[in-house]
């Protein structure tokens, strides 16, 4: 990648887990392993261009914080290489770089020096840091007396006011009051707009989608997906939904059921945009041409949240009858769904819609391609008026 400011190649981190603290000493004395190896990261490689935002997503324990600590220089990798352009500022575990006995003002000088600022630069930037943190008289109190929110204010103020080339943020917006969170988000937006490079880790997919161009999904320490932020976020959210989803119900049909489905085809393809057309072709057969049928369609999320259902009877459609072979088409002219993946249930019903002759489930019927990150399942057609 041209003009890359972060390069990571084959990065791995293996921790040693000991059952008892004394096992460390025994291992050192006897030169025999007394630990179990735990791989927090395994063969992670990527590059980030100047001015790009990369979101780091994944479940707890996926290796996100380990990766960011390595890039920030807090810990060393077991294998692999990396290069990060300086100056670099990081907001990791809030307050982790603070000396608890030092005052906030003393920690400003300490942390700014660790970030590479000279004494003159620290004196020059201290007023802006104090102003951004809004800690008032607490700035001269020991950091050990600070609340989590106060420590976040100070850490964020230091990291953002030193004008870094690369900014690493690990869940820093998850604490603190709403007013200061907004202040931090506004600053991150300005940082990105000025062409700054950011590595942003969060469980809030809205923030990741807002600040980042690409996303890196880690699973069990390995790269599960790396690509455009909307694509990776959508895949990660589908994975989370499918993990929570109960098993699909098994429909037991009578051996002598008088009607059964044949082929069911999704004519409109598996990937859709908001407002696109969905078409489903359904065929079924019956031994009795006088038997009457209705059709039912259910659209569910992978976790079985019911999104919508349609009955041919409720739509005013007369029942199908008079044949032994049938073919019908179900059409949604404009899908109002905003995002996500969906399964389709198809029901072959008696004329009263109370008895089910046959059921088919299409587990991964279609997905909605996102143009932005919207909350909820649907987009309502609307307008704003004065």
Q: Is 7 in a helix, a strand, or coil?
A: strand
Quickly list H helices, 101-214: 104-114, 119-133, 148-161, 178-193, 205-211
**Residue 330: pLDDT above 90?**
yes
CATH 2.60.40.770 in the chain: give the residue spans: 259-369
* Closest among 163, 150, 162, 92 to 126, alpha carbons compared: 162
What confidence tens digit (pLDDT) does each residue in 56-81 have?
A: 999 998 999 999 999 988 889 999 99
Q: What is the pTM of this model?
A: 0.76
What whole-number distance in Å separates Cα of residue 321 and Cα of residue 301? 32
**Residue 252: pLDDT above 50?**
no
Q: Which residues of 63-76 are buried (b: 16+ CB within 10 A; e: fewer)?
A: bbbbbbbbbbebee
Task: Let me know: does 301 contact 241? Beta carbons within 8 Å.
Answer: yes
What confidence tens digit (pLDDT) does each residue in 338-348 have?
A: 888 899 999 99
Summary mean pLDDT of the chain: 87
Per-residue pLDDT, averaged over 34-47, amounts to 90
What whole-number distance in Å separates Cα of residue 61 and Cα of residue 367? 28
Domain covering 259-369, topology: Immunoglobulin-like (2.60.40)
Looking at domain 4-244, its CATH superfamily turns out to be P-loop containing nucleotide triphosphate hydrolases (3.40.50.300)
What confidence tens digit (pLDDT) does each residue in 351-374 have?
A: 988 888 999 999 889 998 877 777
Residue with the bigger pLDDT between 115 and 100: it is 100
Per-residue pLDDT, averaged over 159-181, amounts to 76
Where in 50-78 does DSSP place strands (E)?
A: 53-57
CATH 3.40.50.300 in the chain: give the residue spans: 4-244
């Amino acid at each position: 990648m041209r003009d890359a400011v972060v390069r990571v190649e084959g990065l791995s981190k293996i921790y040693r887990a000991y059952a008892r603290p004394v096992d460390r000493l025994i291992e050192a004395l006897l030169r025999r392993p007394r630990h179990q190896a735990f791989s927090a990261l395994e063969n992670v490689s990527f590059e980030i261009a100047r001015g790009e935002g990369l979101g780091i997503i994944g479940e707890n324990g996926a290796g996100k914080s380990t990766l960011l600590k390595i890039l920030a220089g807090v810990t060393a990798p077991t294998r692999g290489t990396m290069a990060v352009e300086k100056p670099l500022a990081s907001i990791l575990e809030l307050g982790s770089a603070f000396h608890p006995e030092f005052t906030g003002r003393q920690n400003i000088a300490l942390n700014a020096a660790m970030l590479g600022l000279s004494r003159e630069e620290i004196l020059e930037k201290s007023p802006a840091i104090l102003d951004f943190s809004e800690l008032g008289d607490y700035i001269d109190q020991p950091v050990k007396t600070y609340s989590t929110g106060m420590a976040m204010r100070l850490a964020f103020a230091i990291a953002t006011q030193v004008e870094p080339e690369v900014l690493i943020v690990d869940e820093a917006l998850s604490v603190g009051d709403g007013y200061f969170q907004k202040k931090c988000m506004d600053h991150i937006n300005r940082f990105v707009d000025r062409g700054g490079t950011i590595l942003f880790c969060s469980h809030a997919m809205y923030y990741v989608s807002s600040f980042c161009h690409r996303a890196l999904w880690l699973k069990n320490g390995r790269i599960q997906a790396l690509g455009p932020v909307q694509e990776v976020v959508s895949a990660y959210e589908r994975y989370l939904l499918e993990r929570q989803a109960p098993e699909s119900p098994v429909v037991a049909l009578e051996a002598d059921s008088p009607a059964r489905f044949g082929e069911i085809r999704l004519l409109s393809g598996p990937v859709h945009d908001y407002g696109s057309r969905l078409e489903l072709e359904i065929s079924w057969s019956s031994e009795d041409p006088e038997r009457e049928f209705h059709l039912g369609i259910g659209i569910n999320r992978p976790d079985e949240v019911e999104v919508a259902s349609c009955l041919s009877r409720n739509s005013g459609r007369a029942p199908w009858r008079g044949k032994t072979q049938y073919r019908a088409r179900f059409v949604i002219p404009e899908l109002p769904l905003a995002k996500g993946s969906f399964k389709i249930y198809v029901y072959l019903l008696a004329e009263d819609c109370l008895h089910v002759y046959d059921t088919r489930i299409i587990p991964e019927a279609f997905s909605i391609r996102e143009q932005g990150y919207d909350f909820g399942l649907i987009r309502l057609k609307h307008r704003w008026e004065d």
